[in-house]
Amino acid sequence: MKFVDSTEIFVRAGDGGSGMVSFKTARNKPKLGCDGGDGGNGGNVVLVGNRQLNTLSSLRYKKQYQAGHGERGGTNNRTGANGEDLIIPVPLGTQLFDGDSGKMTGEVLGHLQKLVVAKGGEHGLGNQRFLTSTHQAPEEFTEGTSGETAHLRLELKLVADVGLAGFPNAGKSTLLSVVSSAKPKIADYPFTTLVPNLGVVELKDRGEFSGESFVMADVPGLIEGAAEGKGLGHAFLRHLERTQLVAYLVTAVNDEGVTPAQAFKTLRAELATYSKELADKPVCVVLSKTDLIEAEDRAAEIRKLSAPLKKKGFDVLAISSVENSGIDDLKRYLYERVMAYKAEQAADNPVPLALDNSVTGKLTRRWLDIPGVRLELTAQESREVAAMQRPDLKKLLASR
Task: Kindly report, residue by residue over 180-199, the tens digit of the pLDDT.
Answer: 765 655 444 344 444 677 77
- Sorted by sequence, the CB contacts under 8 Å of residue 297 that are 6+ apart come out as none
Give tens-digit pLDDT for 277-311.
Answer: 888 888 999 999 898 888 888 999 999 999 999 99
Q: Return the number of other C-beta atoms located less than 10 Å from residue 370's C-beta.
A: 12
Name the CA radius of gyration of the chain, rounded: 31
pLDDT higher than threshold 60 for residue 36 = yes
Instruction: Indicate the pLDDT class of residue 393, thresholds 50, 70 and 90.
Output: very low
Give tens-digit pLDDT for 243-269.
Answer: 888 999 999 887 677 899 998 998 888
The overall average pLDDT reported for the chain is 79
Q: Return the number of other C-beta atoms located less than 10 Å from residue 158's C-beta.
A: 25
pLDDT higher than threshold 60 for residue 359 = no
Percent of the chain at pLDDT > 90 equals 33
pLDDT higher than threshold 60 for residue 394 = no
| Residue 371 pLDDT | 47
CA–CA dist 247, 234 (Å, integer): 17
pLDDT higher than threshold 60 for residue 338 = yes
Pick the closest to residue 221 from 164, 280, 278, 271 (CA basis). Answer: 164
Report the CATH fold assignment for 162-348.
Answer: Rossmann fold (3.40.50)
Q: What are phi and psi of 280, to 5 degrees?
A: -85, 0
Higher pLDDT pick, 70 / 224: 70
Pairing mode, if any, of strands 86-90 and 45-49?
parallel
pLDDT higher than threshold 90 for residue 274 = no
**Domain parsing of the chain, residue ranges:** 1-156, 162-348, 359-398
Report the CATH fold assignment for 1-156.
Answer: Spo0b-associated Gtp-binding Protein; Chain: A, (2.70.210)
| Residue 198 pLDDT | 75
| Residue 385 pLDDT | 55
CA–CA dist 360, 390 (Å, integer): 16
Instruction: Indicate the pLDDT class of residue 231, thresholds 50, 70 and 90.
Output: very low
